[in-house]
Copies of this chain bind each other. A is one copy, B any other.
Amino acid sequence: MARTLCSMLSSVYTADRQVTVEGWVHRRRRLANVTFVVVRDRSGTAQIVVTDSSARERVLALSEETAVRVSGTVVENDHAPGGFEIVDPVFVALSAVAQPLPVELWRPTVKATLPTLLDHAPLTWRHPTRKAVWAIAAASMAGFRRHLDSAGFTEVATPKIVDSSTESGANMFALNYFGSTAYLAQSPQLYKQVLTGVFERVYEVGPVFRAEPHDTTRHLSEYVSLDVELGFIEDHRDVLAVLRSTLAAMIDSIVRTAGPELDLLNTELPIVPDQIPIVHFSDALKLVGADPAEPDLAPEHERALGVWAKERFGSEFLAVEGYPAAKRPFYTHPQPSDNRWTNSFDLLFRGLELVTGGQRLHNQVDYLDAMVARGEDPVRYGAYLEAMGHGMPPHGGFAIGLERWVARLLMLENIRATALFPRDINRLRP
C-alpha cells in the first residue's frame, strides 16, 4: 500500500480507509486498556491506537525512535491530535534501537546541554524544536536564491581551495595541495567580483572557512555564506537596496514554507522596512558618544544603535555606511566626497552586525594604488588584477552568514545551535 504522510490523514480519510504510515516511534503511552503510539514522520505526527492485548505486548518492544511501518484504519476522533487517528494497527519494525538514547526526544523541549546536543547531532536534530531551526535555515536559502534568480542573477560556484592570493592571509586554514601549500577560501570575494565582469549579477551559497582562534558564541570556523555581487551600480546604496529586497524575500520564504516551525519556536519575525534607515559611521559614533577617532564600532555601540533605530524608525535593521578606509579591505571603494570614508556598510540586525557590504574599486590603476599603499604585492593577484584592467563595471556586493542570520532571527544565544554539524577550535566531530 502506498505510504501516507502523517499530516495527510485528514485529507485521505473516507469510511474504513486503510493507510500505511512510516516514521519513528515518537512516544508510547500505556494506559489500563489501551496503548497510544505517536508516530513521527517528516510531515508531523499521527496517533496510533492499540487495544488488542497481544498487539499491546508487541508494541512494548518498539522503543522510542524505532523506525516503523504501520498499517491500519483511519478514524475520526475529536480528541486525537489533528482530529484523526489510526486504529487496528499492524506494526513492522524497519530498524531497531540498539542503545538507550542520549536525549529523550519525545519531551516537548530538549533537556540537554549544548555539548550533548552537538555530540549527538545526528540524533538530536530529530527533535521537532531542533528540526524547526534547520527548516528556517533551509527556507532562508531557498528564498535568497528564488529572489536573486528572479532579479537576473546567475548562480556561481567558486573554488574553495585557493592559493595565497586572496584578501588576507589572516585566519586561513593551510592545506597540503599535492605537496605545496594552498588555503581554504575565507570568502568568494575576489571571484564573485571578477564574475560581475561576466554575468553582471552573481550569487553563491557555499561554505567559507575561517581559522577563528577565539571560542566565542558568534563565530564558527566553517559556515555557509550567502554571497551577492552586482555590476553597473551607482554606489553602495544600490547594493543596500538589493540586500533589503533579498532579506524581505528570505523572510517571505520562511513564512510561506516554515509557518508551523515559526509557531513551534515562538518566533517573532522582523519587518523589513521599505527603506532600511541609514546612518553615516561618523554620525553613528556621535550617537553613541564614542571617540570620533574610533575606527570601528564596538559591540556595545552596535547594541546602542540597534535600540536607537528601533526607537527612532521602528526598524530592527540599521545600515551604517562610510566605515573608515583603514578598517576595510583594499578593494573597498572610497566615499567620493571624502576619502577618509568608504562606500561600504554594515547592516545591523537587532543591534548585531549581520552583513558587510559595499562598493568595490573597479579600475586597475586604483587597485595598484591600493595594493601599494597596503604593502600588498600586485603580482600575487594575477588574473584578478588582469580582469580589473579590462572594463570591469562599477560593482559591489554583500555576504550574509546563514548561521548568524538564523541565530539572530531566533534569538539563539549560541551560533553553534544553528549549524547542522558545527566546527570550531574545539570541535571537529561529528
In Å, the complex CA distance between A384 and B386 comes to 46
Known A-B contacts A390-B98, A429-B382; the reply to A161 vs B209 at CB < 8 A is yes
Indicate if the CB atoms of A175 and B178 lie closer than 8 Å: no
Partner of A120, one of B41, B66, B386: B386
Indicate if the CB atoms of A160 and B125 lie closer than 8 Å: no
> Which residues of chain A from 156 to 171 have any CB-CB distance to chain B below 8 Å in the complex?
156-163, 165
On chain B, the residues within 8 Å of A209 by CB distance are 160-161
On chain B, the residues within 8 Å of A24 by CB distance are 391
Mask of A137-161 contacts with B, CB within 8 angstroms, 1/0:
1100110010001001011111111
Indicate if the CB atoms of A383 and B122 lie closer than 8 Å: yes
On chain B, the residues within 8 Å of A224 by CB distance are 157
Mask of A64-102 contacts with B, CB within 8 angstroms, 1/0:
011101000000000000000000000000111111011
In Å, the complex CA distance between A390 and B224 comes to 29
Indicate if the CB atoms of A141 and B155 lie closer than 8 Å: yes
In Å, the complex CA distance between A241 and B402 comes to 32
A301 located at the interface, meaning its Cβ lies under 8 Å from any Cβ of chain B in the complex: no
Indicate if the CB atoms of B94 and A394 lie closer than 8 Å: yes
A119 located at the interface, meaning its Cβ lies under 8 Å from any Cβ of chain B in the complex: yes
Partner of A197, one of B123, B393, B430: B123
Min CB distance, A135 to chain B, in Å? 7
A286 located at the interface, meaning its Cβ lies under 8 Å from any Cβ of chain B in the complex: no
Indicate if the CB atoms of B163 and A429 lie closer than 8 Å: yes
Known A-B contacts A94-B393, A222-B161; the reply to A386 vs B420 at CB < 8 A is no
Residue of B nearest to A66 (CB): B391
> Which residues of chain A from 370 to 391 have any CB-CB distance to chain B below 8 Å in the complex?
382-384, 386-387, 389-391
Indicate if the CB atoms of A98 and B156 lie closer than 8 Å: no
Indicate if the CB atoms of B200 and A41 lie closer than 8 Å: yes
Mask of A393-418 contacts with B, CB within 8 angstroms, 1/0:
11000000010000000000000000
Min CB distance, A26 to chain B, in Å? 11
Min CB distance, A153 to chain B, in Å? 9
In Å, the complex CA distance between A429 and B164 comes to 10
With most chain B CB atoms within 10 A of its CB, the pick from A102, A137, A386, A422 is A386
Min CB distance, A139 to chain B, in Å? 9
Indicate if the CB atoms of A96 and B142 lie closer than 8 Å: no
Min CB distance, A172 to chain B, in Å? 10
Chain B interface: which of A29-37, A320-328, A348-356, A361-369? A361-369
Indicate if the CB atoms of A394 and B95 lie closer than 8 Å: yes
In Å, the complex CA distance between A121 and B199 comes to 13
A1 located at the interface, meaning its Cβ lies under 8 Å from any Cβ of chain B in the complex: no
A276 located at the interface, meaning its Cβ lies under 8 Å from any Cβ of chain B in the complex: no
Known A-B contacts A123-B197, A198-B125; the reply to A423 vs B159 at CB < 8 A is yes
Partner of A159, one of B382, B383, B392, B421: B421
In Å, the complex CA distance between A281 and B195 comes to 44
In Å, the complex CA distance between A15 and B427 comes to 66
On chain B, the residues within 8 Å of A152 by CB distance are 42-43
On chain B, the residues within 8 Å of A175 by CB distance are 173-176, 184
On chain B, the residues within 8 Å of A102 by CB distance are 386
Indicate if the CB atoms of A391 and B97 lie closer than 8 Å: yes
Known A-B contacts A99-B386, A362-B95; the reply to A421 vs B158 at CB < 8 A is yes
In Å, the complex CA distance between A178 and B363 comes to 38
Residue of B nearest to A159 (CB): B421
A111 located at the interface, meaning its Cβ lies under 8 Å from any Cβ of chain B in the complex: no
Known A-B contacts A195-B122, A232-B22; the reply to A65 vs B391 at CB < 8 A is yes
Indicate if the CB atoms of A430 and B67 lie closer than 8 Å: no
Mask of A197-235 contacts with B, CB within 8 angstroms, 1/0:
111110000110101010000000110100000001000
In Å, the complex CA distance between A197 and B122 comes to 8
Known A-B contacts A161-B428, A177-B173; the reply to A191 vs B394 at CB < 8 A is no
- Pick 7 A–B contacts, CB within 8 A, sort by A: A42-B200, A43-B152, A119-B383, A134-B156, A157-B419, A159-B423, A178-B211
